[in-house]
Amino acid sequence: MRVCREVGAFGVGTVLNAKTARSQLLGGIVMGIGMGLMEETQLDSRSARFITQEPADDHVPVSPDVPDIDAIFVPERDPHVNAVGAKGLGEIGITGTAAAPANAIHHATGRRIRELPLTLDNVLATSFSPP
């Protein structure tokens, strides 16, 4: 499966530095694409141990895997976060990114996948659930 375009809109509170805030959100989107489509923890059924234990075992997105992405700031004032109203943006971009392709698959095929990564094997193993 490929994602051809990704747009995320995020309520981030007061933006202190637009350039670094946007970069944090774009990085989170790329991490979410990797989580949804590539990264997988495999378990050995005989020993109940993880087969994928090293970071080198993970498939993560690289430049050719990353589609055209954009992050939009949704204006909001949140005086309850802190005095400035700024929020930490480290992983907010991940939110919803892995779910978006899963929802697209459900919309196109009627199959609701609840396991990551989203692979053809998971689509075929999931039963059809009419809307």
How confident is the model over 69-101, as pLDDT tens digits? 999 999 888 888 888 888 888 788 888 898 888
**At 15, is the secondary structure helix, strand, or coil?**
coil
- Write down the catalytic residue from 40, 54, 76, 91: 91
Produce one character per residue of 73-93: b if its CB has 16 or more CB atoms within 10 Å, e if not: eeeeeeeeeeeebbbebeebb
Domains and CATH numbers, the chain: 5-125 (3.30.365.10)
C-alpha distances out from residue 122 to 37, 71, 80, Å: 11, 29, 41
pLDDT of residue 40: 79
Q: For the chain, what percent of residues have pLDDT higher than 70?
A: 96
Active site residue 39: no
Structure confidence at residue 130 as a pLDDT band (50, 70, 90): low
Range scoring the smallest mean pLDDT among 19-23, 56-60, 78-82, 121-125 = 56-60
